[in-house]
Chains A and B, each alone.
Chain A
Amino acid sequence: MSIYMDHAATTPVSESVRKAMEPYFSEKFGNPSSIYALGREAKAALWDAREKAAELLGAESPSEIIFTSGATESNNLAVKGVAHAGAFAIGGVPHVITTSIEHHCVLDSVKFLGKNYGVEVTFLPVNKEGLVDPKEVEKALKPNTVMVSVMMGNNEVGTVEPIAEIGALLKKVKDKRHEANDKTPLVFHTDAVQAFQYFDCDVDKLGVDMLSLTGHKFYGPKGVGLLYVRKGARFIPQQDGGAQERNLRAGTENVPYIIGMVQAMEDAAVSRKESDKHISELSDYLTARILKEIPETELLGPKNVSKRLPHISSILFKRVEGESILINLDLQGIAASSGSACTSGSLEASHVTKAMGYSDLEAHGAVRFSLGKVNKKEDIDKLMEILPGVIEKLRAMSPIK
């Protein structure tokens, strides 16, 4: 028996995606930059994918889509590229604002800029539910702020951030700068990796200038992503050596994977409402049963499922450590993940949970269950046959009162 409850980590490639990708490995394998028929065929397929991606994000033009190797690259490119361009534009030290709960690929890119290039950086606080207050964004803005990056939905606790509200606020700042003939750019970026499967990511409705996605969080392949860049938002490319992606991202395009990702985007857009409902119900059921049947537990993030990414239920088990829970579940065939990064090479407790005001010890007791298409109510029933006993056994061992 195996039950997969870690869809926020990755998802399986769906059948329709695999089918869409298949011809582009060995049959239509041309390099889109080649001039002969085989190359042109690949180029046309790539353009077609770009058009679809642009349409699904409500972008004005397909050339606003830059395909990358995944969200880590997209986020590095956005953060470093915009700060770099901003420094040139203002001829001085730029300021970048982000939040304290971003994925490490944003967080560490911003820290890198501060440490190595003296870029001014601000990490916004969040409340106990992991929510960023748009007023904090407003307060943090400086005359040299060139970028604000706020994730759309948090990958660990599922909090959905008020992106549209922040977007509207920043629009006003941009307009003011424009009126004052101030050439300081201001780029609003969002990491929408976890949100795309369940939320409309129309870039105009969100008011974002840049948006990052990766294929494998919504039933597409790993190793492929995109960065939406609004026309006029400037960034300095971070890799050289080819004219691909309008000279903005050198390297032969990963045609089959791009096509797979865009197919997955289409599928997600079609099934969004339905899968949101299905997953919300399941997550609610899971959360309710754990909170009711296991004492000393707490749901991390907003309590109302409509304010969270529906697939993520992050539960704090007091007086127990996450990894020890995960191993016990794994031995029974259940895959989940821990807020404690113990297994990923770093022993420190989650920066997200800590930013929400929890202690180190509490943060070490977080387990994230993230559901997906394959999960059924029976999976949760099975989990609940095992989990209470595991927690009881580990608590009996715990020196913490």
Chain B
Amino acid sequence: MADLYNEDVMDHFMNPRNVGVLKNPDGVGETGNPTCGDIMKMYIKVGKNGKGEEYIEDIKFQTFGCGAAVATSSKTTEMMKGKSIAEAKALTNGDVAKELGGLPDVKMHCSNLAAHALHAAIKDYEAKKK
């Protein structure tokens, strides 16, 4: 399938980083579209860094979907681990696809939703905090 996805996407698909469930997560977010066949779930643990900023101390994901769906999920966790909540909020699906060196056009819409799942997890965390 060399032509279907680039090497980095294939690497993240075949050897996904941070797969699984976090015990006692601070936030859980799910996004997806059953019609397109992609469901992504993100789990985050939030900590405070030296500057007193909230950051993503740990992050894990579960994904049902095609190669692109898994790869974008994996890449998102890799990019965002250790980043501040503010940085995570600013992440777009486009950033993830770009970081992966691009995705096939047809995959950009449905399978590239990992940033949304992360935002949902942050929202869940913030709602619980209140």
Contacts and interface: CB of A to CB of B under 8 A. Distances in A.
B112 to A, nearest CB: 12
A397 B14 CA distance: 11
A399 B66 CA distance: 13
B22 interface: no
B62 A347 contact: no
Q: Please indicate which of the listed interface residues A321, A331, A363, A398 has the most CB atoms of chain B within 10 Å of its own CB.
A: A321
A346 to B, nearest CB: 8
A343 B5 CA distance: 11
B1 interface: yes
A327 B109 CA distance: 20
B127 interface: no
A399 B37 contact: no
A397 B37 contact: no
A399 B64 contact: yes
Interface stretch (B28-36, B44-52, B76-84, B90-98): B28-36
Contacts of B37: 321-322, 340, 342, 347, 349, 360-361, 363-364
Contacts of B64: 319-321, 361, 364, 397-400
Interface string A346-379: 0111000000000111011000000000000000
B40 A323 contact: no
Q: Please indicate which of the listed interface residues B14, B34, B109 has the most CB atoms of chain A within 10 Å of its own CB.
A: B34
B39 interface: yes
Contacts of A31: none
Given A331-B14, A347-B106, A399 B34 contact: no
Given A330-B1, A361-B37, A342 B14 contact: no
A343 to B, nearest CB: 7
A345 interface: yes
Contacts of B38: 321
Given A330-B1, A343-B4, A399 B35 contact: no
A323 B67 contact: yes
Interface size class on chain A is: 20 to 34
A360 B39 contact: no
Contact of B1 (A331, A347, A400): A331
A10 interface: no
Contacts of B66: 321, 323-324, 340, 342
Contact of A324 (B20, B41, B65, B106): B65
Contacts of A363: 37
B125 interface: no
Contacts of A347: 35-37, 106, 109-111
Contacts of A327: 1, 4, 10, 13, 67
A271 B70 CA distance: 45
Contacts of B1: 327, 330-331
A330 B40 CA distance: 24
Interface in B70-128: 70, 106, 109-111
Nearest to A348: B35
A296 to B, nearest CB: 13
10 contacts: A320-B64, A321-B38, A321-B64, A321-B69, A324-B65, A324-B66, A342-B66, A347-B35, A397-B64, A399-B40
